[in-house]
Structure 1
């Protein structure tokens, strides 16, 4: 599959992956390719959650002439491949880590932004009547080792007291008897608000909202050339070009190799792999102890996550291969199946109907970042948002709005993720080696008691 650290282009109009989400969609003609030379006020590169919401806000609130260039079709990248967890956060730092790193006041401000992003997803779904199969709320963070129960108590106390949450700590017995019978879990922290959606349908809904606001979307239009002249940016696609003063890069984990100096070496694309089983029988659901349709993630360094889907299938995901060319090797699906069966022995031998992988963008400091090049720099007019670390479904929509506001000269909240650009990885050419070493350490860390 396409590998952002090796490939200089993501291809052109490649079909959606054979995922469960794509299997729910009716094939349509899609958005046409750009086939002429044109101008715009702003060009947005990438039709995922970030780019589509940036385009919507630019057209709707600022009356900008906006062109969106997508190499394939909306939601082809991570926006249409993820597990569909609508969470209150982004990056890899929770409220406790944010408080430890930045202090309580700044952590609270960051969390307010995350809550706003979470609430915005529901508001946009209502505004656009997006039928994204939203499920009843209930998000469980599972302690895979007893030592994490004390961490959960600390998180519950901090979040409930200072962040306006209403989290609940569950013992192993409470979890298994009243919620779900994961045999690997020692207890859980329950957030009663977070929920699951069909992520591809959400992305397609955002594309309709952007188009209705006045943005022009082009599919099958990867950026193959980029020229700057007299304060203008000319982006060349296979069959046309667009020239504008401002460019927003919203490609995140799918940013091609050496795409732009502002992003080169500043993110690590990491593969996450997902499988979806056949529908569970009533007896299997009872044996697994499922009450409702929970969304679940554990505390491992190399996390597993899962959710029960509306049609009774079980989605189960975790880290996959390191290189794209290995993504489809059977051993990664077998590893996920083995982990699933350790949690739910009643599902031993269950058939897998769907399996796919996708890239998430990890940042060096575990935070997402928005950045606008200074007006006096050679990259003036260029902005980006990236580095969601695999938890960007909620935040990326608001990040698109903030990116649009930044491009229009509006003030945005003074938060760590908005103050500084992404930091470049030390010895960036060896990122994959560092990732491999981290995976070895993570496996050891996850097994120790």
Structure 2
């Protein structure tokens, strides 16, 4: 991530189109704008207000369908941020038009869809990148560097757990349908699974999982827990509880009870959902670009504090010590005591998103290998689906589509 914010090599600019200018894209657009070698050329959405806001702010062309966006001859790559059930369809349309593809998590909602996406990218000679998981973040990358250095010995176990208010945030109809990729296992599972696979080497042997759904105001799973065993015997546990009664940020001295909402706001939102009088469609729209509740771009003014987010608290246990996130780096607890190792790369809040853009640019313009490739994304999806299958069938699920983490 050393090239964040630098000028384009030899003036080469990559022209990018965005399919689906929703909340995820609204969070991504400031990072795209900050990149001197990425040009936001065009966007597609079905919401006229969103398209007008995009044109006003960024000056790009807009379309009311993904097909029209992909037919734009100036667009070189397409960022797929449409609803989960359309990820495969839209990625394949982009590939068939000769466009390189970045697809938001989850890559797809079935293994068959993921396979078709990979086949389309190969057939059309385009790069396919599985984007936006927290494995791109500097804390995870720094932890991986320490593990791979061997300075605290062999990696022996991994644990990650998150308590968030994810289930209380505004949701559209498709987000409330597990058949369309709704719920915490589909929406948040990739963050933890991708991170654990990256740190553990990628090759997960089997999964035993449980999924929970216990809030009447939300007809989708809001909880999962799982045990993963890697091919070399490495154990890993992962938990995400998105119901928002408690948030993990309270567990660090510099954290607070606030996540997306304050405790008082969480009470009010939960009551509204239980009563069925929450105006979620409007609330969701106001979080998108140009909306009243659009998040302002994060501004880095010195090192930025880390607090447990949707990834959660991550601990790697090695032969001679444990690693975990600190406020500004990674705590290494070893035989010499505790030291705080600075992050590899930037602590800018946009760093993880910029890393995704850098991987896209390096793959398309510099023809470098893709770490978060189609097969890698499909392997992460396989684990998420296995957690849900294991919960339904109450048994261990053996995996068959895992790939090793790239050096």
Tell me the TM-score normalized by structure 2: 0.27
**Could you say which structure has the larger radius of gyration?**
1
Q: TM-score, normalised by structure 1?
A: 0.25
Indicate the structure whose relative CO is greater, using CA pairs within 8 Å and at least 6 residues apart.
Answer: 1
